[in-house]
Amino acid sequence: MSATPAFVTPRILQWARTRTGATLEDVAKRINTKPDRIREWEDGSKRPSIRQAEHIAGALHIPFGYLFLSEPPDETLPIRDFRSVADIVPGTAMPDLLDVLNDVLVKQQWYREFVVSQRHEPLPFVGRFTIADDSARIAADIRDTIGLDADFRAQSSNAEDFLRSLTARCESVGILVMRSGIVGSNPHRKLSVQDFRGFTITDAFAPVVFINGVDARAAQMFTLAHELSHVWIGQSGVSDERMDRLEIDGAVEALCNQVAAEVLVPDSEFVWNTDIDVKGNVRSVASHFKVSRLVALRRAFDLRHVSKNAFIQEYRNYETQYREAEQNAEGGGNFYATLFPRNSPTFTRTVVSAVMEGKALYREAAQLLNIKVPTINKVMEYIESRAE
């Protein structure tokens, strides 16, 4: 007895494949069939079975029902797209970016409702400034709000420690910081820095900053500072904050880059010794401000201490060194060390507390945290053990 055919729309099959950048061979391998068979399904000469169609939907990360639509669905981003990279069409929603953004929006809405229900006051710094304001004023206000000063920097042993402390300070004032390199909890859907490095959802009660965890950790600090700038000027959006980009299209991104640089390396404290070379100065600046050499180099270029050619050459060298160091240090990792940054420590603890207090169901919590229901109890035990 032959399998029941699925009357999928050939055009949708082709759209679903090309939107992910997958070839016929890629899809065939994912569902264990031949490329010619995928081609036949796409040109309508043959039809997949129901089971095969389900496998295709899973492999291409789309709802099964999409395969039966007459036209491709509208997949525009729900927030502004500030990206201006040459190979990215502004407004284009990459599947991984779109799925991560929608997942974060669900989390943000849940948290917002929870915060409002607890009669919290709106956060005064969200949208406190506009793009017409001076970058130095905005940066000073950010530093004052999160307590970023010389004493705070001195408490960190290095740039990575400083990033963790800075993230914790952001959370303490009400900003959820989520950092992940995958879609949801799927390790097979790794994010790409070519697609995006970060985005911000501004909200008076529950602002969220998302950092692409695939990016070099040395660059993530600048992304965090850049996204904080978006919060302070009240501009949600997918950002375009690459430090090696010397030309920025758009007033918002240009301002946020300026603010980010001033937040991390204030001009008033910057010292450049003309008696030593660029590398020596960069090491000194990075050590003093507890930032990466990438950030220190970019700030030196902005303040006209480094030429364009020298900046480009040194930036590439530093970036390669950081990536090689991270690859050599990669390990299995700790589940909890991944879970909390991925969902925001504050958000994770709030969801688990809601379950413990009977304000949220186990299944709801598991969906929000992208984990299995039985794991909720383990997370509860972990949180309680850390509180002792």
- C-alpha to C-alpha distance for 368 and 80, rounded to whole angstroms: 24
Mean pLDDT of the chain: 90
| 154 in the same domain as 266 | yes
Above 70 in pLDDT, residue 181? yes
| 155 in the same domain as 39 | no
* Mean pLDDT, residues 143-171: 93
**225 lies in a domain?**
yes
Block residue for tokens 């990279």: 85
Which phi and psi (to 5°) does residue 75 adopt? -120, 40
**4 lies in a domain?**
no
Pure H helices in 200-277: 217-232, 251-264
| 57 in the same domain as 179 | no
Pure H helices in 44-94: 50-59
- C-alpha to C-alpha distance for 88 and 125, rounded to whole angstroms: 32
| 242 in the same domain as 354 | no
Block residue for tokens 């291409």: 60
**272 lies in a domain?**
yes
Confidence of residue 86 (pLDDT cuts 50, 70, 90): very low
Above 60 in pLDDT, residue 332? no
**365 lies in a domain?**
yes
Per the structure, the complete domain to which residue 281 belongs is given by: 95-329
Query: Over the stretch 275-322, which tens digit does the pLDDT of each residue have?
Result: 999 999 999 999 999 999 999 999 999 999 999 999 999 999 888 888
Q: Between residues 332 and 15, which one has the greater pLDDT?
A: 15
Query: Over the stretch 366-375, which tens digit does the pLDDT of each residue have?
Result: 999 999 999 9
| 205 in the same domain as 324 | yes
Query: Over the stretch 8-18, which tens digit does the pLDDT of each residue have?
Result: 999 999 998 88
Is 232:128 a contact under the CB 8 Å cutoff?
A: yes
234's tokens: 């009240």
313's tokens: 């050459």
Domain end: 68, 87, 105, which one? 68
Give how many domains the chain has, as a whole number.
3
Question: 210 pairs with which residues across the strands?
Answer: 178, 199
The pTM (predicted TM-score) of the whole model is 0.89
**74 lies in a domain?**
no
Query: Over the stretch 214-243, which tens digit does the pLDDT of each residue have?
Result: 888 888 999 999 999 999 999 999 997 777
β strands within the chain, DSSP E: 176-180, 182-183, 186-190, 198-201, 208-212, 237-238
At a CB cut-off of 8 Å and minimum separation 6, what does 127 contact? 202, 204, 232, 233, 234
Above 80 in pLDDT, residue 92? no
**78 lies in a domain?**
no
Confidence of residue 76 (pLDDT cuts 50, 70, 90): confident
289's tokens: 């401000």
- C-alpha to C-alpha distance for 244 and 239, rounded to whole angstroms: 14
Q: Residue 44 sits in a domain of what CATH number? A: 1.10.260.40
Look at strands 208-212 and 176-180 and give their pairing: parallel
Ranges 124-128, 191-195, 247-251, 328-332: which has the least confidence: 328-332
pLDDT at 91: 46
| 312 in the same domain as 259 | yes
Query: Over the stretch 335-383, which tens digit does the pLDDT of each residue have?
Result: 888 899 999 999 999 999 999 999 999 999 999 999 999 999 999 999 8
**76 lies in a domain?**
no
| 374 in the same domain as 239 | no
